[in-house]
Amino acid sequence: MLGMLDLLGTIGGNILSLPGIVGLALGMATRNWLFAAIMGGLVGVLETYLFGGTHPGHVTVIEVAVAVLVGMAAGVVGCAIRHKGATV
């Protein structure tokens, strides 16, 4: 079971890591909201399993869920930036 500080660290680490940054960039690359969310979620899954430890069994479900949610949110925010920036 994750403690509160561990959960907040996981969320903050994912925002500042690949799911947040690359998810935002991939979201800015498209105008389709659903596609942006899917790409961000895939980045979250890939990042968690690639950098999560020496063995895929070391990754918990909470870590994957947080990474996917942060990636999806970043993708949607990137898509919103693209929509708003295209109207100027």
Q: Is the pLDDT of residue 59 over 70?
A: yes
pLDDT of residue 88: 58
User: Which is higher by pLDDT, 41 or 55?
Assistant: 41
Which tokens belong to 4?
């509160």
pLDDT of residue 52: 76
- Give the torsion through C-alpha atoms of 3, 51, 37, 5, to 10 deg: 20
Is residue 53 a contact partner of residue 19, using CB atoms and an 8 Å limit?
Answer: no
Kindly state the percentage of the chain with pLDDT values over 90: 53
Domain ranges of the chain: 19-86
Is residue 11 a contact partner of residue 63, using CB atoms and an 8 Å limit?
Answer: no
pLDDT digits (tens, 9 = 90+) for 14-41: 899 889 999 999 999 999 999 999 999 9
Rounded to whole angstroms, the Cα distance separating 46 from 80 reads 23
